[in-house]
Structure formats: C-alpha cells, structure tokens
C-alpha cells in the first residue's frame, strides 16, 4: 500500500541520477553520496509510491515502465525548480550561484579555460562546475545548465550558439626525427606504412581520420602503434614529439609545436576544416549565471544565431 507522504525533491533527484547513470554506484559517485544511501533512498521512494520504479539485476539497473514515465515528467520540473531557486538567490545587482556546464575534453585545452577565467573574474560570486565527457547527454536530466559539443543533433527545445573559434581543422603531424627515419607520406594511402598514434573516445570508438583535398574526401583507418584515450591528448602529443609516430588531432593544439619546429606538418593539403564548438541550452531554463555567461560571450541576442536541431 502506498505511503501518503509525498516524496522529497532529494529522493526524486537521486532517482533521476540512477536512471541517467544506469546504476546505484555511478549515481552515488556523481552526487557525492554513498551507494548505501542511494539504495536506501530508492527503497524509501518506491515504498512511498507503492510501485517498483527500477528493475534490478546483478548486471544492470533499468527503470520500469512506471519509472520511465515518472522520469520523463519529473526531469524538466526539477530542472525548472533548480533554475527558479538559483534565480531567487540572485539580486538585481549581483549574480551569484552555480554555473554547471557539461563539456568535451576538446574544449578544455585552450578554448574554454580562458573564458571561464574571465567569467570568474567578472562574477566573483558565481561558482563553476565542469563535467568533462565526450558522449552527448541530456543536460536537463544531468542537472547541467548548458553543454558544449561539436555538431551533434540536439533536442528540439535546445538553443545552440557558437562558442570559441567558428572554424577549426584537424592536422597531421610528426616529429622531424620520425620523418627523417621513415620518410614523409605523400598521399593518405601511405599512412598504412607508418606508425600512427590513434585516439579513442570513451565509448571505445577510435577517432576517425577523415581527410579531404578539394572535392576529394577519404576516411583512412591506419593501424595504430599507440592508442590513447581522448582525455589524455597531451600524452599523445608528447609521444609524437618523441618521434613515436604520426598524430592526427586538433590543429589549434598542435600550432605551438608546429611554430617551434618541434613537429612538422604531414599531408597539410589534406587537413579538413569543420565548424567550431557550440554552447547549447534549454530555451525554457536560462538561470542568471548562464545568462551572464552568454552575455559575456557577446551573445546577447541569441535569437539571431540560433540552431535548433532535432534528433
């Protein structure tokens, strides 16, 4: 029989974290709680509602039909509640509270840090939390105010605006010592005969080497002598500097080493360009710290540069 006492916002937040993370331990880690507390919270919530919300097995935790329905309806309500509470904490004169962004590692090298530094100096009473991951997440369900991604398809109610360089490019490089020993590739097909340093997303997929020269495009998949996760790109660059192979990654990361001569350009005519990163956020929830961040970026009228994408 259901308990007549309504669940607390905290209980519902824990439930949504479990659904988002797919397990008790992952949810507990994200929220800074103990797994035992998370488990007790879910037991209490299900007892109060009188219906199971999660199917638990030794290998996975999945929401029941009732759980999926509850999560879909509660997530936007909790996000709006958080936004309202944050706005209530701000006076007309002072912006304060939290700005939480979900971002890929690609913007953490040289694009986002100087922007955050300028933002913190301009708004000393705002605190910033950065969740760094490569998969596209539901920022509402994850409790983030906004996300940054490259070219993914976003939910229909999301606004997308550019942040950082409008255009970037991939670059292939190698150390002079490596090229002196192995020779300079003259065509992408030649990469099959070279040692290559490949990067891997957290999903397990290798980062593709998509090259183009004029109207000609090629996707090459050279054998990797070294594979490194995208969250450890500085190590990949160090290995390239040490002469361990050819590396393909963001040109802006490699520019200082190309300028110094520590690395040499490989197949520069085949380096592809692509659109830079974009900040995306819900058109329904723009808390004061996020509004201040957008204003600092010079995006006061986002309606003039809005990209709405559907899944």
Q: What is the DSSP letter of 215?
A: T
Question: Which positions of the chain have pLDDT values less than 70?
Answer: 1-5, 86-93, 136, 140-141, 152-157, 299-311
* Whether CATH 3.40.190.290 fits 167-274: yes
Q: What is the Cα–Cα distance from 55 to 62, expressed in whole angstroms?
A: 5
Q: What is the per-residue pLDDT for 218?
A: 94
Q: What is the per-residue pLDDT for 161?
A: 87
Q: What is the per-residue pLDDT for 87?
A: 64
Q: What is the per-residue pLDDT for 135?
A: 74
Q: Which fold has domain 89-166+276-305?
A: D-Maltodextrin-Binding Protein; domain 2 (3.40.190)
Return the bridge partners of 217, or none. Answer: 212
Domain coordinates of the chain in residue numbers? 9-73, 89-166+276-305, 167-274
Beta strands (DSSP E) in the chain are 54-56, 61-63, 97-103, 126-132, 146-149, 158-162, 167-174, 196-200, 209-213, 216-220, 224-229, 246-250, 264-266, 273-275, 278-282
Q: What is the per-residue pLDDT for 170?
A: 95
Domains 9-73 and 167-274 share a fold: no
Q: What is the per-residue pLDDT for 156?
A: 58
- How do 209-213 and 246-250 pair as beta strands? unpaired
CB atoms within 10 A of CB 207: 16
Q: In terms of Cα–Cα distance, which of 175, 164, 66 is closest to 111?
A: 164
0.85 exceeded by the pTM?
Answer: no
From the options 2.40.170.20, 3.30.200.210, 1.10.1060.10, 1.10.10.10, give the CATH code of 9-73.
1.10.10.10
In this predicted model, what pLDDT tens digit does every residue of 132-188 receive, in sequence order?
887 767 776 677 899 998 876 565 567 888 998 999 999 999 999 999 999 999 999
Q: What is the per-residue pLDDT for 92?
A: 53
């Amino acid at each position: 029989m259901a308990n007549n006492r309504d669940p607390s916002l905290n209980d519902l937040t824990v439930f949504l974290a479990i659904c988002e993370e797919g397990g008790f331990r992952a949810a507990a880690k994200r929220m800074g709680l103990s797994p035992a507390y998370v488990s007790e919270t879910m037991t209490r919530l299900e007892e109060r509602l009188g219906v199971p919300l999660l199917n638990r097995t030794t290998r996975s935790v999945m929401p029941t039909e009732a759980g999926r329905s509850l999560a879909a309806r509660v997530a936007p309500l909790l996000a709006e509640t958080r936004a309202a509470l944050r706005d209530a904490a701000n006076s007309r004169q002072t912006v304060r509270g939290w700005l939480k962004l979900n971002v890929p590692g690609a913007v953490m090298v040289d694009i986002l840090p100087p922007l955050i530094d300028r933002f913190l100096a301009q708004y000393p009473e705002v605190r910033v939390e950065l969740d760094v991951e490569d998969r596209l997440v539901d920022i509402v369900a994850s409790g983030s105010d906004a996300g940054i991604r490259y070219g993914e398809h976003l939910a229909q109610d999301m606004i997308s605006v550019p942040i950082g360089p409008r255009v970037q490019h991939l670059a292939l490089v190698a150390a002079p010592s490596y090229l002196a020993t192995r020779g300079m590739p003259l065509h992408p097909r030649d990469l099959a005969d070279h040692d290559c340093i490949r990067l891997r997303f957290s999903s397990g997929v290798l980062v593709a080497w998509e090259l183009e020269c004029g109207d000609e495009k090629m996707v090459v998949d050279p054998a990797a002598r070294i594979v490194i996760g995208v969250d450890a790109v500085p190590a990949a660059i160090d290995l390239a500097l040490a002469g361990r192979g050819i590396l393909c990654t963001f040109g802006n990361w490699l520019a200082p080493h190309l300028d110094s001569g520590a690395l040499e350009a490989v197949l520069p005519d085949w380096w592809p360009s692509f659109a830079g990163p974009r900040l995306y956020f819900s058109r329904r929830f723009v808390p004061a710290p996020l509004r201040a961040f957008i204003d600092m970026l010079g995006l006061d009228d986002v309606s003039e540069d809005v990209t709405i994408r559907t899944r």
